[in-house]
Structure 1
Amino acid sequence: MTADPEDHRNPYVARERILRTAYELFSRRGIRAVGVDEVIERSSVAKATLYRHFRTKNDLVIAFLERRQQVWTRDMVRDESERRGSTPDEQLLAMFDVLDEWIHSDDFDRCTFINVLLEMGPDHPVSRAAIDCLEELRGIVKERAEKAGLHRTEEFALSWHILMKGSIIAAYEGDGEAARRAKIMAADLIEQHRTPDGPERVPAGSKAGGS
């Protein structure tokens, strides 16, 4: 493809085209399987244009993760579940309704943040960005748990996130009912955290990894 001659005069347009192309390729095929040259060709920009906006592939991947955070975590999971529930409890459980619809849509592509961690390893620079994205989701859950008056909200958010991640992986394995099964367990989890006494705590010193 021929590079767009408007690249210099429309830097925002060129950057957005690169990012949209990278978003589609990375979310569908992963990070390692997609090279910069393919992004350049598919987005119809000059190589110099891409490197003017993204100095390295890592920079491009981090920008992709930031876009994914907005599209998936905030616009879809957070905002849509908030619209569907009138109370914090309902908004928490609605997260699994949103996941269920996503799982059954043409846009289902597993969890990008988990994929990055598995592909790149936890010590890679882009993995740190993926972990930060996952921590934001747990923060949303924790905030809703606090508004619902639940106890041990940090533990609650970690357990809740396990149910969310597990339902996504199970769905990718072929369990189309995974999010609905997880929602039932999530309702039980809410009840367990309504009182100060509840499920056994994780031993002191244990670390919760991001996914």
Structure 2
Amino acid sequence: MPDVRERIVTAAYPMFVNRGIRDVTLDEIRRQAEVTAAQFSAEFASRDDVAAVCLQRREAIWTIGVVEAGARARGTTPEECLLAIFDVFDDWFHRDDYEACTFVNVLLEMGRDHPLGRASCEHLEHIRQLVGRLAAEAELDRVEEFTLSCHILMKGSIINAAEGDIEAASRSKAMARDLVARHQPVHASGSSHAEHVEWLQLHGLDADAFTFSGAEPERPVQSAPSAAVRGPVHADADVAYYLDFDLA
């Protein structure tokens, strides 16, 4: 038979996941775990202490055991694994027992300043770290920016699914694919005109306004009839783009 502490956590875990924190009472936990008040007090100081351990268990079961393991099992490349997160979500959203994200639920219920709210923020940060690791493995540009944006898509799809939109993951996956494309690195050396045009379009620039300049080979330049000043409008480690400004 499991020890007293394990019985308490096992009993409390589904209650907190499905109902939140404040709706769960100590009497319910003790009754379900079949422990006395004295036995409970010997292991935990309060209901919130049990909840904190259950949040840790949720990370092990859901973040690592379901999301990370599922995404890595479905993808053969880091990019595929990133997008596969939304395939994992799609299966989750279609389950009859879909319970939404416990960390988001607890954060909204308890508030960011409550110890359980702060713990939920830490667990959400661990999810972002997972996304960041995959983005780094995929050698995407601006990994931190990508990670924050991708996590917005993930959390947004979870909320939409809680509203009843069980196809939210597939829509979010399409947006995530565009996000991955926008963060692909671009290398100037050997790049074709078509590759430059694609890069400009991905970054929201009007590709028709750019041409190649003989003065700056393989670097797109926007020409103006009476241009007076030329300056870089984008630069990174590998490529720089120049724009002619008409100051007349």
TM-score, shorter chain, exceeding 0.5: yes
Partners of 1:98 and 1:62 lie apart in 2 by 25
Hey, what does 2:195 align to over in structure 1? none
Q: How does 1:29-68 map to 2 (within 5 A)?
A: 29-68=19-58
Deviation of 1:27 after TM superposition, in Å, equals 0.8
Provide Cα deviations, 1:143-176, integer angstroms capped at 9, x if missing partner: 1101101011011111000000000100110111
Normalized per residue, which structure has more helix? 1
Hey, what does 1:168 align to over in structure 2? 158
Q: 2:144 aligns with which of 136, 154, 157?
A: 154
Provide Cα deviations, 1:75-96, integer angstroms capped at 9, x if missing partner: 0000111111110001111100
Secondary structure class of the residue paired with 2:21 = coil
Alignment RMSD: 1.6
Hey, what does 1:87 align to over in structure 2? 77
Normalized per residue, which structure has more strand? 2
Secondary structure class of the residue paired with 1:141 = helix
Q: How many residues align?
A: 190
Hey, what does 1:27 align to over in structure 2? 17
Provide Cα deviations, 1:92-135, integer angstroms capped at 9, x if missing partner: 11100001101111331011001111110110011111111000
Larger radius of gyration: 2
Normalised to the residue count of structure 1, the TM-score between the two structures is: 0.86
Poorly superposed stretches of 4+, deviation over 2 Å: 195-200
Hey, what does 2:92 align to over in structure 1? 102
Deviation of 1:36 after TM superposition, in Å, equals 1.1
Hey, what does 1:5 align to over in structure 2? none
Normalised to the residue count of structure 2, the TM-score between the two structures is: 0.73
Deviation of 1:199 after TM superposition, in Å, equals 5.8
Hey, what does 1:69 align to over in structure 2? 59
Q: 2:103 aligns with which of 107, 113, 134?
A: 113
Query: Kindly, what percent of the aligned residue pairs are identical?
Result: 48
Hey, what does 1:181 align to over in structure 2? 171
Secondary structure class of the residue paired with 1:170 = helix
1:127 partner amino acid: G
Deviation of 1:193 after TM superposition, in Å, equals 0.5
Unaligned runs of 5+ in 1: 1-9, 201-211
